[in-house]
Amino acid sequence: MSFIDFFGNVVRKKDVYFKYSTDEQWTGEYWIDGKKIYCKVVSVSGFTKDKYVAHNISNLHRVLSCDLFVKFNDGTNHMMPRAHKDNDHDGISIQVNKTSLILQVGTSNGFSNASGYAILKYVKTN
């Protein structure tokens, strides 16, 4: 166990090294009700209409955050949901239910050549 000087106080440094994974893992954190917070990365690719992607999370209770980012064939990176709407972009919204990550897209989108990842942080029922 290593120690660090924190404003004149010596405290233990947590020996936790977090690595993102497509496997469910405990983040080392707890939610306000004392439940463990878990993280899982879900791969997404090409969609021109609403897309359902199985997340394979058992006993899902509450999603705390979902960060979605995609990269297009031209090399541009985009974080979702898009914070704008104009004549070229209807945007995208994200929903998560007990079985799937649901990407809801507008009618004139260009996500068919996009691929990326959703990072889910969540708590479980038990």
All domains of the chain in start order, with CATH: 21-124 (2.60.40)
Instruction: Please give the chain's pLDDT, 126 residues, in tens.
Output: 555 555 666 655 555 567 899 999 999 899 999 999 999 999 998 877 788 999 999 999 999 999 999 898 888 888 876 655 555 555 677 889 999 998 887 665 667 888 899 999 999 998
Give 19's strand partners.
Answer: none
- What ranges make up the beta strands (E) of the chain? 2-6, 9-13, 25-30, 36-45, 51-54, 60-72, 77-80, 92-96, 100-105, 114-124
Give 25's strand partners.
Answer: 39
C-alpha–C-alpha distance, residues 106 and 42, integer Å:
21
- Long-range contacts formed by 37-41: CB under 8 A, 24+ apart: 37/64, 37/121, 37/122, 37/123, 38/121, 38/122, 38/123, 38/124, 39/119, 39/120, 39/121, 39/122, 40/119, 40/120, 40/122, 41/117, 41/118, 41/119, 41/120
C-alpha–C-alpha distance, residues 61 and 115, integer Å:
27
Q: pTM, whole model, 2 decimals?
A: 0.78
